């Protein structure tokens, strides 16, 4: 463009009478590339379940509802057709980011004898496995939540749930847990594993749930 403009200007100098109305050219800027976004639906790292994503703009929409469904969306254009990305491609594109995520929590359930804060023999046998799981975390966070069935008054069951959580807290410390990493709570009878009417004995509700993150 510079050479062309110079040639026109030079001809005008020599001719003297040429019209130069066209020597100043208006060049339209090149259009900016459309913004592009890649969306990939991955299973939840905690539960392994896959939800659903709804992708839309003014030009159209699409749904992602299966593991590794992916779509490319550009501004001003309807989303492209949905494709399923391979696990290898997911790792190639997002492996570093996925590996940087915190480990998903690990859950354990310990059961108790009736109207007691004493563990069943089967639940006590799980303690070494729980300890091994905690040791795999550099900075573990342990949540211990006590529960009861619906036998007895709600307030009494709230206290019993806390007694059960406290009993597990003490056991965990005895087998090597750092007490500063453990939080205890009680839900009493308010969050049953098996829903029952009031005043119903249910062994599966007499429990403590442990989450290790």
* Separation between Cα atoms, residue 202 and residue 19, nearest integer Å: 100
How many independent structural domains does the chain possess?
A: 2
Q: Which residues pair with 111 in a beta bridge?
A: 207
Residue that finishes a domain, picked among 44, 68, 99: 99
pLDDT (0 to 100) of residue 201:
95
77 is in which domain, residue-wise? 36-99
**CB 129 within 8 Å of CB 177:** no
Q: From residue 27, give the alpha-carbon distance in Å to each of 12, 16, 103.
A: 22, 26, 55
* Residue 192 CA, distance from chain mean position: 26
Residue 96 clears pLDDT 80, i.e. is over it: yes
| Same domain for 111 and 88 | no
| Same domain for 95 and 112 | no
| Same domain for 115 and 93 | no
Which CATH number characterizes residue 133's domain? 3.30.1330.60
**CB 114 within 8 Å of CB 205:** no
Residue that finishes a domain, picked among 55, 70, 99: 99
Mean pLDDT value of segment 181-188? 96
| Same domain for 113 and 65 | no
Tens digits of per-residue pLDDT, 114-145? 888 899 999 989 988 988 888 888 778 999 99
Residue that finishes a domain, picked among 71, 99, 127: 99
In a domain? residue 81: yes
* Separation between Cα atoms, residue 20 and residue 46, nearest integer Å: 72
pLDDT (0 to 100) of residue 34:
63
DSSP-based three-state secondary structure for 61? strand
pLDDT (0 to 100) of residue 29:
61
């Amino acid at each position: 463009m510079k050479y062309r403009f110079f040639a026109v200007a030079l001809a005008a100098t020599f001719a003297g009478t040429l019209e130069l109305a066209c020597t100043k050219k208006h060049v339209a800027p090149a259009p900016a590339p459309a913004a592009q976004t890649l969306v990939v639906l991955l299973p939840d790292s905690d539960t392994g379940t896959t939800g659903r994503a709804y992708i839309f703009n003014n030009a159209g929409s699409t749904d992602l509802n299966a593991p590794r469904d992916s779509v490319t969306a550009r501004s001003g254009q309807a989303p492209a057709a949905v494709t399923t990305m391979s696990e290898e491609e997911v790792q190639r594109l997002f492996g570093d980011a996925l590996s940087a995520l915190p480990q998903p929590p690990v859950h354990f359930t310990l059961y108790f004898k009736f109207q007691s804060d004493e563990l069943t023999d089967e639940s006590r046998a799980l303690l070494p496995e729980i300890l091994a799981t905690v040791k795999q975390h550099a900075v573990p966070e342990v949540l211990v939540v006590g529960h009861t069935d619906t036998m007895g008054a709600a307030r009494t069951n709230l206290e019993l749930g806390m007694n059960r959580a406290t009993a597990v807290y003490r056991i965990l410390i005895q087998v090597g847990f750092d007490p500063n990493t453990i939080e205890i709570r009680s839900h009493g009878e308010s969050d049953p594993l098996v829903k029952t009417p009031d005043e119903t004995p249910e062994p599966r509700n007499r429990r403590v749930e442990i989450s290790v993150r």
